[in-house]
Structure 1
Amino acid sequence: MTNPLKFFVTLMLFSTPIPHVRSESYVREACSVTLYQDVCIRSLASYSHNLKRSPRRWARVGVSVTIREVKSVSQHLNILRKRSHIRGKRSRAALSDCVECIQDTLDNLHRALEVLRRLSFRAFDEQMNDVLTWLSAALTDEDTCIDGFEGMRKAGRIARFCDKNASYITSNALALANKLATTGLRDLSEDHHDDQRHP
């Protein structure tokens, strides 16, 4: 005869939704609009439970995480430049230009994040136009950095590093912001307490 307690516990295990599964579905849904979905899921999965299905939150955290990653790229490039690992006048010039481009990227990302933190119903369209403009400019700056190493075999490793660690995630942030611009603001009150909890 089946133990009633064992049967009840088994039933509860299979009938109760698993938070981890729901969280994973949130990030996959949010990242479905991005070009580099694996990168998106990997970088934003830890925020999934709190962000749920809010395009506003995903856009804001997407830019915030991008800033963190691009800062890491910037630090790496500055170390390379100071240690003079790159030989050749053209390669060194390309690296210096790249450092400046990445700094411009960070400036534009910070501008976009500042606007995303103070969105309003009244000025939403204008604000999102600014956000998309700055994120597009950030991506262009990264492309300029990468293009500067074209034709340089050894220095090309830097281009690939910037591409994978900066431009991919910036492209994703732009896609998340574009989703917000298309969807519009649903309810600012749902995010009232999030400013203290999320980037």
Structure 2
Amino acid sequence: MKQSHSLALLLNLTLLSMAAIHVTAVAPIQSDFIRSSCKATRYPALCVQSLLTYAPSVRHSPRQLAHAALTVSLTRAQSTSAFIKQQFPKPDPARSRQAGAIKDCLDTMKDGVDQLRQSVQEMGHMGRIHTHRFRWHLSNVQTWVSAALTDTNTCLDSLSHNAGPTVRTAVRKRVVEVAQVTSNALALVNRLAPHY
């Protein structure tokens, strides 16, 4: 009885160590796929840093990678929009150019969040590649992500022309990061086009 218990324990330990070796061997391959794919983006270091945690779910799927990049972009846009709303709860555009810039920024960020949310949802309905349905959904995603990227640039323009240095410093860095991850997401979405 003791011997069979020891044998079962030894077998379990062997299986666990084999699983650990497999995970260790697979993880670098998955991260290599992300690093290689991120070379096609405008901000490759940020791309790798923001997507590396998605490696297990992405595996080697360009579509899953694009979906993960959109999810990152949506999360950052939501966080930035909430930050602006918290820092400047009720900007009155009639009172100053700066308040108008903050309101414009909030409005465009809200639009961007909506477009990125639609894009993430649309990725789930694309169907099989090489189909009209896939091309149609991909076109929608490309349009919405491009519009979200334009929204971040509109926000930045408004801030740079109408906001004081304190507001620019508080908001600009976050909006720039949203713009960068959104640009990366668009590049990874565009890479799906040749695959259909």
Give the TM-score normalised by the residue count of structure 2.
Answer: 0.78
1:163 to 156, 168, 176: 176
Shift of 1:154: 2.7
Matched to 2:142, the amino acid is L
1:143 to 148, 153, 163: 153
- Check whether the contact 1:139–1:167 (CA below 8 A) recurs between aligned residues: yes
More moved, 30-39 vs 117-126:
117-126
Written as runs of structure 1 = structure 2, the 5 A alignment for 1:112-127 is 112-120=119-127, 121-127=131-137
Task: Name 2:97's counterpart in structure 1.
Answer: 90
Shift of 1:146: 0.6
Shift of 1:132: 0.5
Question: Which string of whole-angstrom CA distances, capped at 9 and with x for unpartnered residues, describes residues 12-71 of structure 1?
Answer: xxxx87333223212101211111111111111011133122111111111112111111
Question: For 2:98 and 2:37, how far apart are their aligned partners in 1?
Answer: 39
Q: Say whether 1:53 aligns with 2:60.
A: yes
- Check whether the contact 1:30–1:53 (CA below 8 A) recurs between aligned residues: no
| Structure 2: 5+ residue stretches without partners | 1-21
Question: For 2:56 and 2:36, how far apart are their aligned partners in 1?
Answer: 12
Question: For 1:163 and 1:50, how far apart are their aligned partners in 2?
Answer: 27
Hey, which of these two has a bigger chunk of helix by percent? 2
Shift of 1:83: 8.0
Matched to 2:180, the amino acid is Y
* Structure number with bigger Rg: 2
Task: Name 2:75's counterpart in structure 1.
Answer: 68
Question: For 1:116 and 1:177, how far apart are their aligned partners in 2?
Answer: 10
* Residues 1:82 and 1:24: Cα distance change in structure 2 (over 3 Å): same
Q: Secondary structure at the match of 2:135?
A: helix
Written as runs of structure 1 = structure 2, the 5 A alignment for 1:6-21 is 18-21=25-28
Give the TM-score normalised by the residue count of structure 1.
Answer: 0.77
- Check whether the contact 2:30–2:60 (CA below 8 A) recurs between aligned residues: no
| CA RMSD in angstroms, aligned pairs only | 2.1
Task: Name 1:41's counterpart in structure 2.
Answer: 48
| Structure 1: 5+ residue stretches without partners | 1-15, 185-199
